[in-house]
Amino acid sequence: MLLLADRGFYSFYVWGQARRSGAQLARRVQAGLRPYWLRDLDDRSWLAVITNPAVGLRRSQKDRLREDAGQGRDLD
């Protein structure tokens, strides 16, 4: 299942619910969000990681998450 959502419906809580359902997610997000680019995709879109600011991760933790994502590991 592929779940598409527009930027008006972005939240980490809803994202987590959708992820736990087993769906793949494609979302648009608000312009002020700063995703961490991982790589370009064949369809000219790109893959990114977005960390939840409410969690309060240290830089080293964010770097480890980004490395795991870049290697294709599940981040849940």
- Mention every residue, 6+ apart, whose C-beta is less than 8 A from residue 6: 27, 28
Q: What is the pLDDT of residues 17-73, one digit of tens each?
A: 888 888 888 888 778 877 888 888 899 988 887 777 777 788 888 888 888 887 877
Region 4-26: what's the mean pLDDT? 82
Contact 56, 32 (CB under 8 A): no
3-state secondary structure at position 66: helix
Residues forming beta bridges with residue 49, ordered by sequence position: 36
Report the C-alpha gap between 25 and 48 in whole angstroms: 12
The length of the chain in residues reads 76
Q: What pLDDT sits at residue 42?
A: 93
